[in-house]
Structure formats: structure tokens, C-alpha cells
Amino acid sequence: MYNQTFYFNEESYPAGCIISSSYIYADYRLINQRKTWSQAQSYCREMGGELSTVSGIDDMMRLNEATGVTGVTSEIWIGLKEGGEELWLWSVGKTSSGQGVATYTQWAIPPNSTHHCGSFTEHGEWLSAWCGTELPFICQNGFDVTVVFQNKTWTEAQRYCRSHHLDLVSVLDSTQNLALWDVLSQSDLSAPLYWMGLFRDNWKWSDNSNNSFRYWAPGQPNNDGPCAFLSDNTDDAYCDSKRPETKSIFFSIKPFLAQKKSILMY
């Protein structure tokens, strides 16, 4: 495996820094009652909260720590449910730049309707691709961009980047797109296509946000059902099964996670 890391300064890549810590934090509380997903959602709203939204890797770590402290080992509902319009999204989730929806694109040709992952070409354009295709990929951590010349599927590449960097690279505007293309032209090796952090799905959060963060367990979602629950990662399940919840007051037939309104942290 061959990797090359490049560094952008703010002048050459003004919008390129992906902040690992969201500037908005939710107050999570675990509700250790067994409810269906819809019952958990209603309970959280009656309490003035919402079934939990997981906005990024920091939130995911906080939820895992919180559930570990409570000693609850069952599966826990979160506010993610399948349905609605498919959108192109960025893997990193919510940052100071937005929710993670791909508002800027640079498609070479319109995306194939059967493709759910996006790649970056050696010519600086984008192509949709089957997510199981094995390609080299580009990781990002702040202004550090690392090109990894090891062929992996999109999910494998995402897992690698999250383990060794922050996430697969996001490209939020034309300046970033040009800068990334320039990086690839400087690389000692080259490839026609590289995975970036672009993907498409129709999963939505209970708070109606378009937050793009997903933390699926390997092999998930696998069409077991349209509602998501938290274990060590995230799985899908039949919505009428009963688990606790997390509400953002905390988590809820799965216990569930509830969530109060987010608080700005400066």
C-alpha cells in the first residue's frame, strides 16, 4: 500500500478544513423503557425533546460512552428512519459548514440511478459508481488530505479513513474541487478514479434535519426494517419491535435516546 499526504493552507484551500468537532452539541439522555420506534418518538416529543440525531463521530463516541455508563446492553432506538427523497450527502456529517448535503457537485455525466456512491476522477470531475467497486481513495483530517493507493469498496474506504484520519474527503465548492485535482496531479502515482465521501440514501432523522452522518455496522443496512437502532454501530430493524430509546434529553422498544434542543458551544 502506498499513501501520500498533502497539506493545504487556508489561502490555497479556504473552505477545505473539515472540523471534527461539531459546534452544536445535543443533551442526550437514555430512556430505559421498551417502546416501538413511533412510541419512542412520541414520548420524546411529549417531553419536549426528540429521538436522538447523531451529527458526527463526536456524537457517536458520546453516545457509546453514555450507554456504557448506564450499563444498558440492549439495542437502543435513535431518530434515524428510512423514507423520503434520496439526497447526495457527505460522509463526515454535520460540520460548521452545514448538515452534509452535497449542494455543490461536479458530475462529468448525470449519476446512474442504480449507483449510490461518488468518485473523483483524475480529470477533476465526479462519476457515480457501484459502492462495491474497489478503488483507491482519499482521506481527510482538517487540512491534511491523504491519497491511499489501496483498492477498497466505498464502505471499506470509509472505515479506513475513520480509523486513521477523520473521514473520506468532502468537496464543498469549486475551489476545493480544483485544489483536490491539483493534489492528485502532484501524486507520484495515479488512478482514473478515487473514492471520496459522497454517497446517496433516503434515511432521515426524526428532527427533520438532513444531517448526513451514518455509522452503520458492517453489512448494514440490510433491509431488516426502516428504523435504526444503536449498538456498537448502527443497524436497521423492524420499527414495531420494542427497544429502549435515546432522547436528546437521552436514548428510548429498544430503550431509546432522546435529545433536547441543541446548544451552541463557542
Q: Which amino acid is at 185?
A: S
7 or 194: which leads in pLDDT: 194
pLDDT of residue 237: 62
Mean pLDDT of 130-157: 95
Q: How far is CA 17 from CA 94, 200, 228, in A?
A: 13, 22, 30
The torsion angles phi and psi of 38, rounded to 5 degrees, stand at -65, -40
Q: Which three cell numbers stand for residue 202?
A: 433516503
Around Cβ 257, how many Cβ atoms within 10 Å?
36
pLDDT-based confidence at 58, cuts 50/70/90?
confident
What is the pTM for the complete model shown? 0.84
Cis peptide bond upstream of 221, omega within 30: yes
pLDDT of residue 84: 81
> Does residue 12 carry a pLDDT above 50?
no
pLDDT more than 70, % of the chain: 78
The torsion angles phi and psi of 160, rounded to 5 degrees, stand at -65, -50
pLDDT-based confidence at 257, cuts 50/70/90?
low
pLDDT of residue 152: 98
Regarding the domain with residue range 2-19+26-264, which homologous superfamily does it belong to in the CATH classification?
Answer: Mannose-Binding Protein A, subunit A (3.10.100.10)
Domain spans of the chain?
2-19+26-264
